[in-house]
C-alpha cells in the first residue's frame, strides 16, 4: 500500500514510538487517528493534522467507540498500528534481599500488562477488522507491535506472555482475515530509547548494550522503518520482523 492512501489508527500514540509513527505517517500523507490514555501528551507531541482522542485499549467499550469515531473522522479505515503497551516488570517469584521472605508477582501487575498488551491489542484488531470487513475496505493492513522479549526474558513473565501471544496471533489473524483482504504483520523491537525505557538503571542499560552487536540501543526511527515496510509491502503477511541490532538474550 502507498502510505498516502492509508486511513490508519495508531494506538499508544502519546509519546515514544507511537508518537513517532503517527508523526511519520502524517508527514507521508496518510490520514491518522491517534489514541492514548494521555491526551495531554498527544496534544503536545502530535501535529494538528492528526485526529486525536483518548483511548484505553483495555476497555472494550472504549475501543468500540474509538474505532467508530476513527472511521467517521477519516471517511474510512484501512490500517492499524497496534502499539499501545505498558510494563510492570518483576520476577514471578523472588526472595526479598532484606527479609529473606519469598515474594510473588502481584496479580494486579499480571492483569494490567495482559489487559493492555494482549487483551487490549486483541480488541483493537477485532473491532478494526470487523469495521474493515463490514465496509469492504480492501486492501487493508494491521501491524502489531510485539517484542524480542517474546523469546523469554528474566523479570518479564507478563510482558513476555503478551508479546509472544501477539506474535503467534499475527499468524492466526493473517490466515483468518485473508478473505477480507486484510494483511496482518508484526514488528518486534529490541531495546529502544523511549520514555518507557528512560528510567532504566544505567548499569543495567550498559550491560544490555554490551550484548547488542551494533553497539547501541534502537531509536524510534529504526522501528518506523520496519513498520513502514510492513505497511508498504503487499507480499509481507503473517510474519514478525525482529529489529534488535542483532541482540541475543
Sign of the Cα pseudo-torsion (41, 42, 43, 46, in order): positive
Calpha distance 158→90 (Å, rounded): 9
Cα distances (Å, whole numbers) of residue 233 to 79, 157, 189: 13, 33, 19
Sign of the Cα pseudo-torsion (61, 20, 47, 28, in order): negative
Long-range contacts, stretch 164-167, CB < 8 angstroms, 24+ apart: 165/118, 166/82, 166/117, 166/118, 166/121, 167/240
Q: Count Cβ atoms below 10 Å from residue 49 Cβ, excluding itself.
A: 13
Q: Which residue has the cell 474493515?
A: 132
Calpha distance 169→75 (Å, rounded): 28
Calpha distance 175→165 (Å, rounded): 15
Tell me how far apart the terminal alpha carbons of the chain are, to the nearest angstrom.
34
State the number of CA atoms in the 13 A half-sphere of 2 facing the CB. Answer: 3
Whether 159 is catalytic is: yes
Which member of 159, 173, 177, 224 is catalytic?
159
Calpha distance 46→100 (Å, rounded): 47
Catalytic residues: 159
Amino acid at each position: 500500500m502507498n502510505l498516502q492512501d492509508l486511513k490508519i489508527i495508531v494506538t499508544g500514540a502519546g509519546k515514544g514510538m507511537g508518537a513517532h509513527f503517527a508523526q511519520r505517517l502524517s508527514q507521508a500523507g496518510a490520514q491518522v487517528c491517534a489514541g492514548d490514555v494521555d491526551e495531554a501528551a498527544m496534544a503536545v507531541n502530535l501535529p494538528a493534522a492528526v485526529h486525536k482522542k483518548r483511548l484505553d485499549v483495555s476497555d472494550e467499550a472504549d475501543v468500540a467507540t474509538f474505532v467508530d469515531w476513527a472511521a467517521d473522522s477519516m471517511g474510512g479505515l484501512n490500517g492499524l498500528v497496534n502499539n499501545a503497551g505498558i510494563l510492570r516488570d518483576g520476577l514471578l517469584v523472588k526472595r526479598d534481599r532484606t527479609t529473606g521472605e519469598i515474594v510473588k508477582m502481584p496479580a494486579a501487575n499480571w492483569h494490567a500488562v495482559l489487559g493492555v498488551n494482549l487483551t487490549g491489542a486483541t480488541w483493537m484488531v477485532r473491532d478494526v477488522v470487523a469495521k474493515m470487513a463490514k465496509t469492504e475496505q480492501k486492501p487493508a493492513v494491521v501491524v502489531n507491535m510485539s517484542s524480542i522479549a517474546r523469546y523469554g526474558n528474566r523479570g518479564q513473565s507478563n510482558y513476555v506472555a503478551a508479546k509472544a501471544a501477539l506474535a503467534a496471533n499475527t499468524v492466526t489473524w493473517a490466515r483468518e482475515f485473508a478473505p477480507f483482504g486484510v494483511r496482518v504483520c508484526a514488528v518486534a523491537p529490541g531495546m529502544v530509547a523511549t520514555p518507557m525505557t528512560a528510567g532504566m538503571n544505567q548499569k543495567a542499560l550498559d550491560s544490555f548494550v554490551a550484548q547488542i552487536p551494533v553497539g547501541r540501543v534502537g531509536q524510534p526511527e529504526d522501528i518506523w522503518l520496519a513498520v513502514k515496510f510492513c505497511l508498504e509491502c503487499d507480499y509481507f503477511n503473517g510474519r514478525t520482523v525482529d529489529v534488535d541490532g542483532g541482540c541475543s538474550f
